[in-house]
Structure 1
Amino acid sequence: MTRLIDSHDVAFFDLDGVIYLGPIAVPGAVEGIRGVTASGARVMYVTNNAARSARVVAEHLDSLGFAAGPDDLITSAQVAAGVLAETLTPGSLILVAGTQNLVELLTEAGFRTTDTADDSPGAVVQGYSPHIPWGLLDEAGIAVQRGATWYATNDDATRPTDRGLVAGLGAQLAVVGMTVRPRKPIVFGKPHAPMLDFAISHTGAERPIFVGDRIDTDIMGANRAGITSMLVFTGAHGKHDLLAAGPGDRPTYIGADVRALLEPPRTATHEGHSWRCGAARAHLHDGRIGLDAALDTQTDQLDALWALANLSWATDADPGDSLARLDLLH
């Protein structure tokens, strides 16, 4: 049996919604990561969340049963500090609207930091903070209005947690953005190029695969970097998001969770006016998509979804009530 992971030397994983949901591990994630490690592929966690240091995140992973150290992590805050160290004048003053982790990384990169626009910073860097003071967002907006260059570690609109979706850095960027329209920040995290370019360079990956739960960050980022991707259904995005994905935003593979890397890759084949995946067949009928499939298990429904998605993308046909039948998938 040829498993999906057998074709790859490095597996990049998003964290929130793929590996953990806040304080708990995603079901099957520990088992899946152990299997990937046993295959000989390198595991690297790549997260847009800039709130915590790599050391703290590694300790969190370790407490959940993942054997991880700081060298197994790449955060958007690290990428931001590294890129800015190459582009800004050493000693430049930066207003930081984020956590202490981002402040410390920028300080270590040779910058001075402030929390007030009245110090005339040359740049503003925003990073996700669950406890951001509203006044600090005001200061960031005022600094950008006065001419500071605006940067962001990432622009995720939401974050999946064990309790549900919560607002991400994108919401905090929107607050500042209201005061500086039409300006947009320069973004380092997925799906923007610096993040995965850094990850590939850092690991020396030749045949990487990226596993994520979001199409607009993980899958788009992988596609822009020209690497294989897999969308898992344990976090933010689900079946409706998959079908709505545009031509440049679609995953190479889908899987229930990271354990899908330890299985043969799920593939769909074109058969006339239909697409088949496993025992599932999606076909056109009066301009709408029908499904011939057993839908008793999640595996059955994932096969059906992959056949349905490929037919929908190829024909732009209406999925009708087919998606509603996939009730084991969110």
Structure 2
Amino acid sequence: MRPSTVADGPTPLDGVDTVLADLDGVVYRGSVAIDHAVESLTAAAETRRVGYITNNASRTAATVAAQLSGYGLHVTADDVVTSPQAAVRLLVDAVPAGSTVLVVGGDGLTSVLEAEGFRVTRSADDEPAAVVQGFSPEVGWSDLAEASFALAADIPWIATNTDWTIPQERGTAPGNGTLVSAVHTAVGRLPVTAGKPETPIFTAAVERFGATTAMFIGDRLDTDILGARRAGLVSVLVLTGIDGAKQVLAAEKGSRPDFIVGDLRELSQPYPEIVEHDEDDVHVVTVRQARVAVRGGVVRVLAAGGDPVDLLRAGAHAVWGTGRAIYGLDIDPALHPGE
């Protein structure tokens, strides 16, 4: 194989005026800040607008801002866009002002609805005009049953998000998607969704921060990256949360990130160039010292390189180009943070 000249390109931050970051798996996991996240986002905020987006509907924007401030970030409630805030934008268009709304969820949801002038109820007997469902650790069977009873009237149903999982310090736990699925099974229809991967939450953030060219950083392909791409944002997958190498290699076209980084320090570092060349019937993909070969739809490692993320970048580029099975691609287990 002939050697290839590999250069590093611009940083992921180049050309971006607004950085939007997910929280769980990006800034923190459970209650613990992720290594290098705080200092990297603080540095980005020196030259760009930085905002935070969360699908977690259990807490208010002020509560989230207080947690982020506790890590050393300079954040106010206005810097945080929540899925309940996106949900209320949908609700305003769906039912008359001041309507009674049945809520499945916690203070992060009820406070937003009440601030907008809606009357919150927990009972289907109050004949609500709509149901809004969000995550809260306290949600139980009776809450899901009341939502099901209310939805028998064919009223609007809005979910803050449908994340199947939520990362916690002790591991990965069921998310709001599992609770929405329980109601869906009972009522036989699906809600309108405000949070990722749908676009309302991204639209709300772009409008609030006046973004021209926005970047979104997430740890999940099926919500963060898919949603960012749907909204036309630059997408960055950071390998500190749910998804790792296995999910990246298997990613569908609509959920493939523009950038893959091991941690947030790489936002301000030159991103390695992907170099390709053909040798007879072999296609070679090189990222710095990492090299993979594609032949007949099979991807094999030629050189792992010094940085395991470079091998993942090269392997992903090769696999996405073949659309076929993978053999011989040995990825560092450290790149599987969700397992």
Return the TM-score normalized by structure 2: 0.92
Distance, in Å, in 2 between the alignment partners of 1:287 and 1:92 is 57
Over 3 Å counting, the alpha-carbon distance change for 1:89 and 1:290 in structure 2 is: same
**Structure 1 counterpart of 2:335:** 329
Distance 1:86 1:266, change over 3 A: farther
8 Å contact kept, 2:297–2:323? no
Among candidates 203, 207, 211, match of residue 197 of structure 1: 203
What are the ranges of 5 or more consecutive residues in structure 2 without an aligned counterpart? 1-8
Aligned to 2:223: 217
Contact 2:21 2:51 in 1 (8 A): yes
1:120 aligns with 2:130: no
Q: Which residue of 2 aligns with 1:315?
A: 322
- Structure 1 residue 35 corresponds to structure 2 residue 50: no
Mapped contact 1:289–1:319 kept (Cα < 8 A)? yes
Match of 2:22 in 1: 14
- Coordinate RMSD, CA, aligned: 1.5
| Structure 1 residue 150 displacement after superposition | 1.1
Higher helix share: 1
Match of 2:84 among 61, 77, 80: 77
Deviation at 1:28, TM superposition (A): 0.9
The one-letter code matched in structure 2 to 1:26 is I
Give the TM-score normalised by the residue count of structure 1: 0.94
Partner deviation per Cα, 1:174-216 (whole Å, 9 max, x = no partner): 11111011x1000000111111111111111111111000011
Q: Equivalents in 2 of 1:151, 1:258: separation in Å?
A: 33
> Is 1:305–2:336 an aligned residue pair?
no
Aligned to 1:180: 187
3-state DSSP class of the match of 1:170? helix
Mapped partners of 1:254, 1:41: distance in 2: 20
Q: What residue identity is the alignment partner of 1:17?
A: G
Q: How does 1:1-330 map to 2 (within 5 A)?
A: 2-38=10-46, 40-181=47-188, 183-272=189-278, 273-285=283-295, 287-296=297-306, 300-322=307-329, 324-330=330-336
1:268 deviates by 1.8
Query: Helix, strand or coil for the counterpart of 2:293?
Result: strand
Alignment length (residue pairs): 324
